[in-house]
A and B are shown apart, each in its own frame.
Chain A
Amino acid sequence: MSTPSRKGQLSRDEVAHLAHLARLAVTDEELDLFAGQLAAVLDAVAQVGKAAVEDVPPTTHAVPMTNVMREDVVRPSLPRDVVLAGAPAAEDGRIRVPRILQEEV
Chain B
Amino acid sequence: MSTDKLVDFDEVLTRYEPVIGLETHVELGTVSKMFCGCSTTFGAEPNTQTCPVCLGLPGSLPAANAVAIESAIRIGLALGCRIATWSRFSRKNYFYPDIPKGFQTTQYDEPFSTAGHLDVEVDGETYRVEIERVHLEEDTGKNLHVGGATGRIHGADHSLIDYNRAGIPLVEIVTRPIPGAGAKAPEVAKAYVAELREILLALGVSEVKMEQGNLRCDVNVSLAPIGSLEWGTRTETKNVNSLRSVERAVRFEMRRQAAVLDDGGRIVQETRHFHEDTGSTSPGRSKEEATDYRYFPEPDLVPIAPDEEWVEKLAAALPELPAARRTRLSEEWGIAPTEMAWLVNAGAVELVSDTVAAGATPADARKWWLGELARRANDANVELAELAVTPAQVAELVALVGAGTINDQLARQTLDGVLAGEGSPTEVVASRGLAVMGESDELVAAVDAAIEGNPDVAEKVRGGKVQAIGALVGAVMKTTRGKADAATVKRMLEARLTAG
Contacts and interface: CB of A to CB of B under 8 A. Distances in A.
| Interface SS majority for chain A | loop
Nearest to B37: A75
A21 B158 contact: no
B38 A77 contact: yes
B285 A70 contact: no
A70 B65 contact: yes
Given A91-B146, A95-B97, 9 more contacts: A22-B95, A61-B302, A68-B301, A74-B31, A77-B49, A78-B51, A97-B160, A97-B161, A101-B96
Contacts of B299: 60-61
B160 A94 contact: yes
Interface of B: 30-32, 36-39, 45-52, 55, 57, 63-69, 88, 93-97, 143-147, 153-154, 156-163, 283-286, 292, 294, 296-297, 299, 301-306
Contacts of B284: 103
Contacts of B304: 66-67, 69
Nearest to B95: A23
A69 B65 contact: yes
B58 to A, nearest CB: 11
Interface residues of A, number: 39
Interface of A: 1, 21-23, 60-61, 63, 65-78, 80, 83-84, 86, 91-101, 103-105
Contact of B39 (A63, A66, A74): A74
Nearest to B67: A72
Contacts of A84: 47
B66 A71 contact: yes
A101 B30 CA distance: 33
B47 A105 contact: no
Given A23-B95, A92-B46, A100 B31 contact: no
B45 A93 contact: yes
B48 A80 contact: yes
A94 B46 contact: yes
A75 B305 contact: no
B161 A69 contact: no
Nearest to B141: A95
6 contacts: A21-B95, A66-B305, A80-B45, A94-B162, A99-B156, A100-B156
A101 B464 CA distance: 89
A95 B47 contact: yes
B301 to A, nearest CB: 8
Nearest to B297: A60
A74 B38 contact: yes
A100 B97 contact: yes
